[in-house]
Amino acid sequence: MSPYRGRFAPSPTGRIHLGTARTALVAWLRARASGGAFVLRLEDLDRPRVVPGAAAALSADLRWLGLDWDEGPDVGGRFAPYVQSERTERYRAALMTLRDRGHVYPCTCSRKEIAEIASAPHDGAGPLYPGTCRAGPTRPERPAAFRFALDEPPRFVDVGKGPSPPGLGAGDFVVARADGGLSYQLAVVVDDAAMRITEVVRGDDLFDSTPQQLALYRALDLEAPSFLHVPLVLGPDGARLAKRHGAVSIHELRERGHEPSELVGWLAHGLGLVDAGTRATPASLVARAQDVTFSGPPLRLEPDALMTPFGSSGHE
Ligand code: GLU
């Protein structure tokens, strides 16, 4: 078996919050507990969402928590560059391979048209594409996207959650937009394969996109890693943790006077690694993280915990 190589692949779209930090901690612990390498990669292809300065800020927040990486934008490494916007020629080459092999077809449908014609709603991921352009672009005068023809979404066994349900990820999906932008699905596959990642650890919100990525690995003749999806951190209302839930970014919590050991201890408690109220450094958790797959239900923040998550007087 190849030596473990893990990665954390955030998008520099803002400050990292407790949910992102939890995923980063799990990814880091999986790598360190396996004696493997840990890679930081910035996924900045979605240009309008990229926030200037966010890349440096997220590295600083991760380091403040006690996490480190062997390869990444600031430290380099043998698979550099580690920033997606500097790797676009690789994604274009993969797109050409997919096209030459007949896996993708030009699609000129607009989002609105798809929503109108699609019959079944599709797991919150937008409507299932009905295959309109498979026989040829219906509006050849428009610029075309490239869509992957996915007849049978591959199934997989998540390291934490077990087998994926049948039909997950079904539907032809976009790998390059009509404006020339390349999709996350394509970029993440090209990069994880090129960087020899053996296990992908990421948030549960990306569980549904794994079959599409596995289809790309197959179509490109690339070896797929295993996948571990980490349950999300939810706000008190049960929705995915967000700014509106209060001071949940690592930076804000730091500004409020919290120590990294409190935050890491709180995260580790949520992962079942330590008792409540224990302070911890990431390094102190490595031995306990051996063979832990970090599955389980999402972690919900209690309303009070949001203001005073670590027992200090955070109320103003
Ligand atoms: N860049 C993605 C995000 O920040 C994560 C992608 C991945 O880990 O596969 O949500």
Dump pLDDT digits (tens) for 151-171. 999 999 999 999 999 999 999
Question: Residue 31: inside a domain, yes or no?
Answer: yes
Query: Is the domain of 97 the same as that of 20?
Result: no
Question: Residue 214: inside a domain, yes or no?
Answer: no
Query: Is the domain of 32 the same as that of 71?
Result: yes
Residue 214 contacts residue 241 (beta carbons within 8 Å): no
Domain closes at, from 189, 204, 239: 189
Query: Is the domain of 113 the same as that of 183?
Result: yes
Give yes or no for residue 225 having a pLDDT over 90.
yes
Whether residue 45 has its Cβ less than 6 Å from ligand 1: no
The token pair that represents 295 in the structure block = 């599955």
pLDDT for res 99: 98
**Protein residue whose Cα sits closest to atom 6 of ligand 1:** 9
Which atom of ligand 1 is the closest one to the Cα of 7?
A: 8
Query: Is the domain of 96 the same as that of 182?
Result: yes
CATH code, 103: 3.40.50.620
Query: Is the domain of 114 the same as that of 23?
Result: no
Please compute the mean of the pLDDT values over residues 248-277 and round it to a whole number: 92
Whether residue 30 has its Cβ less than 6 Å from ligand 1: no
Question: Residue 221: inside a domain, yes or no?
Answer: no
Question: Residue 212: inside a domain, yes or no?
Answer: no
Give yes or no for residue 260 having a pLDDT over 90.
yes
Alpha helices in the chain (DSSP H): 18-33, 54-65, 88-100, 111-117, 184-194, 210-219, 250-255, 260-270, 282-285, 303-307
155 vs 169: CA distance, rounded Å: 9
Question: Residue 282: inside a domain, yes or no?
Answer: yes
Question: Residue 39: inside a domain, yes or no?
Answer: yes
Per the model's pLDDT, the better-predicted residue between 81 and 233 turns out to be 81
Using omega within 30 degrees of 0 as the cis cutoff, is the peptide bond preceding 236 cis? no
Query: Is the domain of 62 the same as that of 104?
Result: no
Give percent of the chain above pLDDT 70: 92
pTM for the full predicted model: 0.93
Question: Residue 204: inside a domain, yes or no?
Answer: no
Residue 117 contacts residue 129 (beta carbons within 8 Å): no
Query: Is the domain of 58 the same as that of 101?
Result: no
Q: Which residues are catalytic?
A: 243
Query: Is the domain of 92 the same as that of 169?
Result: yes
148 vs 106: CA distance, rounded Å: 9
Question: Residue 202: inside a domain, yes or no?
Answer: no
Query: Is the domain of 179 the same as that of 237?
Result: no
The token pair that represents 300 in the structure block = 């919900």
Domain closes at, from 189, 220, 240: 189
Whether residue 43 has its Cβ less than 6 Å from ligand 1: yes
Ligand 1 centroid – CA 185 distance (Å): 10
> What's the number of domains the chain is made of?
2
Query: Is the domain of 44 the same as that of 10?
Result: yes
Rg (CA), the chain: 20
Which atom of ligand 1 is the closest one to the Cα of 8?
A: 8
The token pair that represents 83 in the structure block = 């920033």
Domain closes at, from 157, 189, 221: 189
Query: Is the domain of 53 the same as that of 96?
Result: no
Query: Is the domain of 20 the same as that of 42?
Result: yes
Which atom of ligand 1 is the closest one to the Cα of 20?
A: 4
Nearest Cα residue to 5 out of 41, 52, 37: 37
Give the domain range for residue 246.
5-84+231-313
pLDDT for res 316: 33
